[in-house]
Amino acid sequence: MTQQNAQQRVHRLGLLGVLFLAILFAFIVVHQLRQQRPAPPQITLPKEPATLMLLFTANRQGKLEVCGCPGKRAEDLARVAALLRSTVDQARRQGTPVALIEGGDFVGEPDGLSYLLQAYQVMGYRLVALSPRDAKRVQQIRVHAGKMALLPPHQNHAPLPHQKLPLGDWTVIVVNLGAPPSVGDEKFWQAVTTQLKRWRRPHTVIVAIAYTDRNAAEALAQRLNGVVDSLLIDDALPNPNGARMVEDGNLPAGRFVGKVLLASLPQSRAQVLSLMIWAKGKEPSPTKVEAMTLSAFGQSPEPQVKAIVDAYYTMRQKKLEREMQKLLTVAQKRDYVSPEFCGSCHQAQYDQWLTTKHAKAIETLKKANRMDKQCLTCHSLEFKMRGVVTRVEKRGVECVDCHTELADPATARLHGQRPGERPSTQTVTEQICVRCHDAANSPNFNYSTYLPKVTH
Q: Among 22-36, 202-216, 375-389, 406-420, which range has the highest average pLDDT?
A: 202-216
Per DSSP, the residues of 126-180 read EEEEPPTTGGGGHHHHHHH-TT-EEEPPP-TTS---EEEEEETTEEEEEEE--S-
**Least confident window among 21-35, 50-64, 209-223:** 21-35
What residues are paired with 210 via a beta bridge? Answer: 233
Q: What pLDDT is recorded for position 140?
A: 94
**pLDDT grade, residue 333 (50/70/90)?**
low
Confidence check: pLDDT of 139 > 90 = yes
Which one-letter amino acid corresponds to residue 67?
Answer: C
pLDDT value at 418 more than 60: no
What CA–CA distance (Å, rounded) separates 64 from 75?
A: 8
Residues in the chain: 456
| CA atoms of 310 and 291, how far apart (whole Å) | 33
pLDDT-wise least confident of 194-208, 214-228, 392-406: 392-406
Average pLDDT, the chain: 84
Q: Are strands 288-295 and 251-253 parallel, antiparallel or unpaired?
A: antiparallel
Instruction: Pick the more confident residue, 420 or 448.
Output: 448
Q: Is pLDDT of 244 > 50?
A: no
Q: What is the mean pLDDT of residues 235-246?
A: 59
Give yes or no for a contact between 272 and 291, defined as CB atoms under 8 angstroms apart. Answer: no
- The C-alpha R_g of the chain, in whole angstroms, comes to 29
**β-sheet bridge partners, residue 56:** 101, 273
Among 296, 229, 249, 259, residue whose Cα is nearest residue 76? 296
Angle among Cα 407, 378, 306 to the nearest 5 degrees reads: 165
CA dihedral for 223, 227, 229, 232, sign (positive or negative): negative
Q: What value does the mean pLDDT take over residues 354-367? A: 91
Confidence band, pLDDT 50/70/90 cuts, at residue 93:
very high
**What is the mean pLDDT of the segment spanning 440-447?**
84
Q: 32 or 202: whose pLDDT is higher?
A: 202
Q: Is the pLDDT of residue 419 over 60?
A: no
Residues 6+ apart with CB under 8 A from 385: 334, 335, 336
What pLDDT does 442 receive?
85
Domains of the chain: 52-300 (3.60.21.10), 330-453 (no CATH)
The model's pLDDT over 5-39, given as tens digits with 9 standing for 90+, comes to: 656 665 666 666 667 677 766 666 555 555 544 44
Distance CA 325, CA 338 (A): 20
Q: State the DSSP code for 228.
A: B
The amino acid at 138: V
What's the gap between Cα 226 and its chain centre? 36
- pLDDT at site 95: 93
pLDDT at 243 over 90: no
Cβ neighbors of 126 (< 8 A, separation 6 or more) are 99, 100, 101, 148, 149, 165
Give yes or no for residue 311 having a pLDDT over 70. yes
Find residue 165's DSSP bridge partners: 172
pLDDT of residue 9: 67
User: Is 329 in contact with 339 (CB distance < 8 Å)?
Assistant: no
CB proximity list for 86: less than 8 A, separation 6 or greater: 43, 299
Q: Per-residue confidence at 317, pLDDT binned at 50, 70, 90?
A: confident
Q: What pTM was computed for the model?
A: 0.75
Q: Cα–Cα–Cα angle for 229, 42, 65, nearest 5°?
A: 80
Looking at residues 112-116, what average pLDDT do you find? Answer: 95
Q: Is the pLDDT score of 445 beyond 90? A: no
Ranges 132-141, 234-243, 393-402, most confident? 132-141
